[in-house]
């Protein structure tokens, strides 16, 4: 495919996504229907689409419209590429630009330039203060690729060496002693022996740091209450010596966890809701709660355009319900650990303040935020202990 044909393919995908279809489904469907497209073509179209989703408002302003064509027109202008060099109508290129399209477009301002909805830009500023602009800017760009080294199996230096032999260059990431930042060959990782053997897992460095901060000790009964795919479960298991359990309100989210645990050489017991009721008490319960995902929107940029004030309020109610439920699963000296991949104070510090006000037997101890502009996803975590 020519560069212009890739732009046209992205335009078609974006039109479907802007109409409400899920990006991953659209891209998968396009790839299956476009057997002529090679791996580099598929990667290029995917990059065009996700760049346009991350920068939807600013590209719309620059392109002078709200459809896929305007988004790609704005993307080219943002990159300093004369759009008429690709919008030629030749072969599979986009049709030539009209006089109106050539004249349209303006510099984005305010929330447009931050690529956030107006209501959400205000929440960002309220939550992050002077860091709001830097956080919004970070979310406009592709996320870094991080790995967690399975320290129970090999050292970080050994992992770097093995991955280099397989074509992926990495360096230590300062957020966690098990974290690697991938600097080259990220697309080769899933086919690497190191990944297949469970020596490394894809996991953001801040997500690893959340686990590093947990006050874990050998012999503890530990529950990952909102386990999902099990990334933090496996990170805890790598610490060793834990009686470890995983639960999710939607057990199907954990369907790959047994295979991943076996690959990593660790043991985790999965609990469905009925089994959880019979499982007894725990020394530590981690609640990595459902949230806006605002700290990881560069990985899933559709989410920031679909979040509404009403949906945010629903998430806050769910978070509070989880805290109440998890608190009842603790031993008398147990630790309730709360975590989100959000940068919004309504989901973070305000929830901890609400919980301690409602439950005087608990006191907040450790609390930390990992900023999205600091080279990781944005995360928050706090530990609550019974006084």
CA distance 67 to 71: 6
CB neighbour burial string for 101-132, b if at least 16 within 10 angstroms, e if fewer: beebbeebeebbbbbbbeebbebbbebbeebb
Helix axes 39-54, 56-63, angle to 10 degrees: 90
Residue 45, pLDDT > 80, answer: yes
Helix (H, G, I), strand (E, B) or coil at 94: coil
Give 13-31 pLDDT, tens digit per residue.
999 999 999 999 999 999 9
Question: Could you give the count of Cα atoms lying within 13 Å of 328 in the half-sphere of its Cβ?
Answer: 8
Q: How many whole angstroms from its chain centre is CA 52?
A: 17
Give 274-309 pLDDT, tens digit per residue.
899 899 999 999 999 999 999 999 999 999 999 999
Q: 110: left (phi > 0), else alpha (psi -120 to 50), else beta?
A: left
Helix (H, G, I), strand (E, B) or coil at 335: strand
pLDDT at 242: 96
CB neighbour burial string for 350-384, b if at least 16 within 10 angstroms, e if fewer: ebbeebbeebeebebeeeebbbbbbbbbbbbbbbb
CA distance 121 to 247: 34
Question: Going from the N-terminus, what domains does the chain have, and what CATH number goes with each?
Answer: 3-108 (no CATH), 146-202 (3.30.70.1170), 213-386 (3.40.50.150)
For residue 171, the cross-strand partners are 181
Beta strands in 163-272 (DSSP E): 169-172, 179-184, 200-202, 221-224, 243-247, 269-271
Give 72-119 pLDDT, tens digit per residue.
999 999 999 999 999 999 999 999 999 999 999 999 999 999 999 999
337 membership: H or E segment, kind and range: strand 330-340
pLDDT at 330: 96
CA distance 211 to 231: 10
The catalytic residue positions are 341
pLDDT at 190: 86
Number of H helices, E strands in the chain: 18, 11
pLDDT at 387: 73
pLDDT at 377: 96
Give 324-335 pLDDT, tens digit per residue.
999 999 998 999
pLDDT at 248: 95
CA distance 135 to 296: 11
Sequence-ordered list of residues with C-beta below 8 angstroms from that of 30, at least 6 positions apart, any chain: 9, 12, 13, 45
Residue 98 burial by CB count (10 A; 0-12/13-18/19+): exposed, middle or buried? exposed
CA distance 324 to 375: 33
pLDDT at 152: 87
Give 156-200 pLDDT, tens digit per residue.
999 999 999 999 999 999 999 999 999 999 988 988 999 999 999
């Amino acid at each position: 495919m020519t560069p212009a044909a890739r732009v046209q393919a992205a335009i078609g995908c974006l039109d479907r996504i802007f109409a409400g279809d899920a990006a991953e489904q659209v891209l998968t469907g396009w790839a299956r229907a476009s057997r002529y497209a090679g791996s580099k073509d598929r990667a290029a179209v995917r990059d065009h689409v996700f760049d346009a989703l991350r920068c939807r408002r600013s590209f719309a302003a620059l392109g002078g419209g709200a459809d896929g064509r305007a988004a790609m027109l704005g993307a080219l202008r943002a990159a300093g590429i004369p759009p008429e060099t690709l919008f030629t109508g030749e072969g599979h290129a986009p049709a030539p630009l009209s006089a109106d399209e050539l004249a349209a477009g303006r510099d984005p301002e305010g929330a447009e330039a931050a690529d956030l909805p107006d209501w959400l830009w205000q929440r960002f500023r309220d939550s992050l203060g002077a860091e709001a602009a830097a956080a919004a800017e970070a979310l406009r760009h592709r996320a870094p690729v991080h790995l967690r080294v399975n320290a129970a199996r090999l050292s970080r230096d050994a992992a770097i060496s093995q991955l280099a032999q397989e074509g992926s260059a990495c360096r230590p990431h300062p957020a966690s002693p098990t974290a690697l930042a991938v600097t080259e060959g990220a697309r080769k990782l899933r086919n690497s022996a190191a990944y297949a053997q469970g020596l490394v897992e894809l996991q953001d460095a801040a997500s690893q740091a959340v686990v590093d901060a947990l006050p874990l000790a050998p012999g503890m009964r530990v529950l990952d209450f909102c386990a999902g795919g099990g990334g933090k479960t496996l990170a805890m298991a790598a610490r060793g010596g834990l009686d470890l359990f995983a639960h999710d309100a939607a057990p199907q989210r954990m369907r790959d966890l047994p295979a991943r645990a076996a690959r990593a050489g660790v043991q985790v017991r999965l609990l469905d809701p009925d089994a959880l009721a019979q499982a007894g008490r725990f020394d530590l319960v981690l609640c990595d709660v459902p949230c806006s995902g605002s700290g990881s929107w560069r990985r899933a940029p559709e989410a920031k355009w679909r979040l509404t004030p009403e949906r945010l309020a629903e998430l806050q109610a769910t978070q509070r319900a989880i805290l109440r439920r998890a608190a009842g699963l603790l031993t008398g000296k147990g630790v309730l650990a709360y975590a989100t991949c959000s940068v919004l104070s309504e989901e973070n510090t305000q929830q901890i303040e609400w919980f301690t006000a409602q439950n005087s037997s608990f006191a907040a101890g450790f609390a930390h935020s990992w900023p999205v502009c600091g080279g990781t996803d944005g995360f928050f975590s706090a530990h609550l202990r019974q006084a």
